[in-house]
Amino acid sequence: MDQENNSLFNDLHPVVLGLAVVIFGLEVMFQLATAGLLGGSGGIGWRMAAVRDYGVFHEIAAWMFANNSYPAHDLMRLVTYPLIHGGFIHAVFVSVFILAIGKMVSQVFSGLSILVLFFAGSIIGALAFVGLLNSTYPLIGGYPGVYALIGAFTFILWANMGRTGDNPMRAFSLIAMLLGIQILFAFLQGDWGSVVSDLSGFVTGFALSFVLIPGGLALLLQRLRKR
């Protein structure tokens, strides 16, 4: 059993494992603080303070655009918000997706490329969130970055299916299913923030794959010539 567990973690790219560990580790810290086991009485408010200080808010972005002022701390929100989550289940699902999708993507992409995908997807997702919506809720969590990794994984499937003669559009079945579920919940809850930010993350990941994957631009030109 131990050998199987060691093999599982040995197969994971250090960047993928490290990203999941950071996210899950922060959530464990918040859980301990909420339970009063860390930080004393002040620890109970750590999560709320982290959301306030590191989450993405439409009001803050609107103020920056209106005043043409971009404080470094507020710009940092674009890369800190994906590390902060609303609860244990939220963080666990993001961590599991990072490990699962990251493992497959890391077979083709370098560790640096994985970081670029995750944080570029997070940044573009946040910009779409504040630019297209007027949400009263903060944007937190790593799903836009996860969807960027899903975009890269979709690119891998799309490229391979094109080579083998399969219908390349089948590569988009995963994102179609996930977005279908999200759209349903958005209708029920009246909150479209996750749909906009996650879809933007996916598009970012797919588009960046043409640059980050070896031979990606050549593949794009080849597909365009066929049209």
- Angle 114-118-121 (CA atoms, 0-180°, nearest 5)? 135
Kindly state the DSSP code that residue 56 receives in the 8-state scheme.
Answer: B
Note the pLDDT of residue 81: 98
Domains and CATH numbers, the chain: 2-226 (1.20.1540.10)
Note the pLDDT of residue 54: 97
| The pair of three-digit structure tokens given for residue 93, joined into one six-digit string | 């699902």
Given a contact cutoff of 8 angstroms between Cβ atoms, the answer to whether 102 and 153 are in contact is no
Band of pLDDT at residue 129, cut at 50, 70 and 90: very high
Q: What is the pLDDT of residues 132-167, one digit of tens each?
A: 988 888 999 999 999 999 999 999 998 888 677 777
Q: Return mean pLDDT, the chain.
A: 88
Note the pLDDT of residue 52: 96
d(CA 41, CA 55) in angstroms, rounded, equals 23
Asked if the model's pLDDT at residue 21 lies above 60, the reply is: yes
Q: Out of 26-35, 66-75, 192-201, pick the least confident.
A: 192-201
Note the pLDDT of residue 136: 87
**96 vs 213: which has the higher pLDDT:** 96
Band of pLDDT at residue 42, cut at 50, 70 and 90: confident
* Distances in whole angstroms, Cα of residue 102 to Cα of each of 114, 115, 141, 185: 8, 10, 17, 26
d(CA 200, CA 151) in angstroms, rounded, equals 10
Band of pLDDT at residue 190, cut at 50, 70 and 90: low
Note the pLDDT of residue 48: 96
Note the pLDDT of residue 10: 63
Output the pTM of the full model.
Answer: 0.89
Note the pLDDT of residue 86: 94
Those residues whose C-beta lies under 8 Å from the C-beta of residue 36, and which sit 6 or more positions away, are 43, 44
Given a contact cutoff of 8 angstroms between Cβ atoms, the answer to whether 104 and 156 are in contact is yes
Kindly state the DSSP code that residue 1 receives in the 8-state scheme.
Answer: -
Side chain identity at 6, as an amino acid letter? N
Asked if the model's pLDDT at residue 220 lies above 80, the reply is: no
**Looking up tokens 């994102």, which residue turns up?**
175
Burial of residue 69 (CB within 10 Å: 0-12, 13-18, 19+) is exposed
Asked if the model's pLDDT at residue 90 lies above 90, the reply is: yes
Residues of the chain with pLDDT > 90: what percent?
A: 63
d(CA 133, CA 127) in angstroms, rounded, equals 10
**Looking up tokens 């040995």, which residue turns up?**
10
**17 vs 179: which has the higher pLDDT:** 17
